[in-house]
Amino acid sequence: MIEQLFGSKTRVKLLKLFYGNPNRAFYVREITRKIDEQINSVRRELSNLLSIGIITSDNNNNKLYYEINQKYEYYDSLLTIFGAPKSMSGKGNKESDSLEEDDEYRALGHVELIAYSGQLTRDLTAPIDVLIIGNVNKNAVEKYISGLETDEGIEIRYTAMRLDEFNYRRQIHDKFIIQILNAKKQILFDKKDILTTS
């Protein structure tokens, strides 16, 4: 039904991809792989979304990247329809938060936060690409990162630390933590609003 409303299955998949990853930029072949659609169809719909102003494009390292335009007039409305569930951002109710965490991150251990940065948000100032906070299983985290590397086709820099260590390092203004806090991020899960509390 939503395809009829928005005119195209490919367009709906693109909107879900972009609004589900608001601080990520993607190149055409990566998009085609992620939404499993024909490249010509993807290019046509990207052109439509660009002309409307829903997405923006940027040339970087001889690749044309596309990302959501957060200044678009109807950004908030479309985010409500196509964005990641509220529980993924740590703002949902307690019950859906635990369901999401159980489904998505249970194998990693007790996860408090997962955020993307660096190469995954095209922020070259960031010291890492993935931040994981919580009491996690090292082997499970390595497996998760390995899967992400396969999906993204890049080598991922990551760090995993306990919440008390993160809070202590933030309190003493540790340079590494400050760089992470100042970098462009996509928060996948933040159980206790760790990155928004001071």
Residues 102 and 179 occupy one common structural domain: yes
Strand locations in the chain (E): 26-27, 55-60, 63-68, 109-116, 130-136, 158-161, 186-190
* The pLDDT of residue 16 is above 80: yes
DSSP string, 58-109: EEETTEEEEEE-TTSTTHHHHHHHHSPPGGGGT-S-HHHHHHHHHHHHGGGE
Q: At 154, is the secondary structure helix, strand, or coil? A: coil
Question: Rounded to two decimals, what is the model's pTM?
Answer: 0.65
Residues 73 and 90 occupy one common structural domain: no
* The pLDDT of residue 36 is above 70: yes
Residues 108 and 156 occupy one common structural domain: yes
What single-letter DSSP state applies at residue 127?
A: S
- Count structural domains, the chain: 2
Residues 119 and 67 occupy one common structural domain: no
Residues 115 and 153 occupy one common structural domain: yes
Residues 99 and 54 occupy one common structural domain: no
Residues 107 and 147 occupy one common structural domain: yes
Which of 86-100, 148-162, 183-197 comes out lowest in average pLDDT?
A: 86-100
Provide the residue range defining the domain that includes 92: 86-190
What's the CATH number where 20 sits? 1.10.10.10
Q: What is the pLDDT of residue 93?
A: 38
